[in-house]
Amino acid sequence: MPDNRFYINKGPFTLAQIADFLKLTLHNCSDPSLEIQDLLPLQQAKDNNLACYHNHKYQQEFQATQAGACIVAEELVSHAPTHLPLLISKTPYRDYARLLSLFYEEKKPIVNISPTARIAPTAKIGHNCTIGDYAVIGEYVEIGENGRIGPHSVIEAHCIIGSNCQIESHVSISNSLIGNHVSIKPGARIGQRGFGFDMDAKGHVPVPQLGRVIIGDYVDIGANTTIDRGSNADTEIHKGVRIDNQVMIAHNVIIGDHSVLVAQVGIAGSTRLGKFVIAAGQVGIAGHLTIGDSVQIAAKSGLMRDVDAGAKVAGYPAIPIQEHFKQVAVLAKLTKTKGK
């Protein structure tokens, strides 16, 4: 149950109200007026709670749940206990996420602008913004309405941040243009000079990094993630991208719409990812590559070559995923044979 120190519970809502909000049909429900107080996991839920069942691995918990109702995937309805009211969904986890947003709201700070924040006189701060303790807002910065700048964050000169953005604590932003509804978690570093050197036996000559970071609307950037600004061109993070914690994105990289980068992904300079690409945890991607739309990259893979749209790859170096698993199977078989 979300802690009421941090979240506001906007419930209760009746099952009928929940079904209407989600546009789902109630099944096996004798009392649509039943009030749901909280949303909880299957094993914790009681008769005034709603749970979600979307993965057959939790069938035992589903059978034993004491929840008052449950959102369930269409193909898993046959597993349901006979007493349990159901909301049948094609996308149960997505609907559960929407319901969490209906029930719970994060508590917001009471003070809008802290007296310890340092804001340049030329900065433009939109209506209803919150700026935390010891935050620094540089010259000619523009921040749209309903923004939040967390404690100790630094927005350097001339950056533009759109409306409804949430910049959490200890974030640093420079040389960046950021869209609307962007969320940046604590400790992220965006727009700094990256690893730009011309290297040879005589020494390493720094290459000026003159580009920007451009971030589209509805982007989510995880804690301690680093996004370097471009060299001559820009580093671009397009709309709807989701970036996990501790991801490294080098200069001039372009990430296409709605792509997902999971923890500790590293992308070298000037590589382009298409739309809806998924790079799982600890993937490494070399520089100057082109990764097509909807490519899926398995965890701990290393990409050395371009990847065509729609491909699934795995391994180091990364190869088509079916070929990778064949190699793993053959190697396992050879190892067992040699052991005998």
Range 46-65 average pLDDT: 92
- The type of residue at 62 is F
Q: Is residue 143 part of a domain?
A: no
> Quick one: how far is CA 72 from the chain centroid?
24
Which of residues 54, 85, 106 is at a domain's end? 106
Residues 64 and 178 reside in one and the same domain: no
- Tell me the CATH number at 291: 2.160.10.10
Give 251-300 pLDDT, tens digit per residue: 999 999 999 999 999 999 999 999 999 999 999 999 999 999 999 999 99
| Bridge partners for 331 per DSSP | none
C-alpha span between 101 and 122 (Å, rounded): 36
List the catalytic residues: 251
φ, ψ of residue 15 in degrees (nearest 5): -60, -35
Q: Coil, strand or helix: which one is 120?
A: coil
Q: Is residue 126 part of a domain?
A: no
> Which residues form the domain of 43?
7-106
User: Domains in the chain: how many in total?
Assistant: 2
Residues 89 and 204 reside in one and the same domain: no
Range 168-194 average pLDDT: 97
The pLDDT of residue 1 is above 70: no
Q: Report the candidate in 158, 18, 148 with the shortest Cα–Cα distance to residue 96.
A: 18
Tokens encoding 251: 């200069």
The pLDDT of residue 209 is above 90: no
Give 16-25 pLDDT, tens digit per residue: 999 999 999 9
Of 137-141, 175-179, 202-206, 269-273, which gets the smallest average pLDDT? Answer: 202-206
Give 115-130 pLDDT, tens digit per residue: 999 999 999 999 999 9
Q: Which residues contact 304 (CB under 8 A, 6 or more apart)?
A: 286, 289, 317, 318
DSSP letters spanning 133-176? TT-EE-TT-EE-TT-EE-TT-EE-TT-EE-TT-EE-TT-EE-SE
- DSSP 8-state assignment for residue 59: H
Residues 305 and 180 reside in one and the same domain: yes
Q: Is residue 193 part of a domain?
A: yes
Residues 179 and 294 reside in one and the same domain: yes
Residues 77 and 205 reside in one and the same domain: no
Residues 99 and 211 reside in one and the same domain: no
Which of residues 106, 129, 159 is at a domain's end? 106
Q: Is residue 166 part of a domain?
A: no
Residues 191 and 304 reside in one and the same domain: yes
Residues 199 and 276 reside in one and the same domain: yes
φ, ψ of residue 105 in degrees (nearest 5): -130, 130
**Rounded to two decimals, what is the model's pTM?**
0.84
| Bridge partners for 160 per DSSP | 142, 177
Q: Is residue 57 part of a domain?
A: yes
Q: Is residue 332 part of a domain?
A: no
Residues 96 and 179 reside in one and the same domain: no
C-alpha span between 141 and 157 (Å, rounded): 6
Q: Is residue 139 part of a domain?
A: no
Residues 79 and 194 reside in one and the same domain: no
Give 237-247 pLDDT, tens digit per residue: 999 999 999 99
Q: Is residue 140 part of a domain?
A: no
Residues 45 and 175 reside in one and the same domain: no
Burial of 224 (0-12, 13-18, 19+ CB in 10 A): middle
Please, what is the angle between helix 92-103 and helix 15-22, to 10°? Answer: 120
| Bridge partners for 178 per DSSP | 161, 215
Give 213-233 pLDDT, tens digit per residue: 999 999 999 999 999 999 989
C-alpha span between 158 and 140 (Å, rounded): 5
- Tell me the CATH number at 91: 3.40.1390.10
Which of residues 78, 106, 134 is at a domain's end? 106
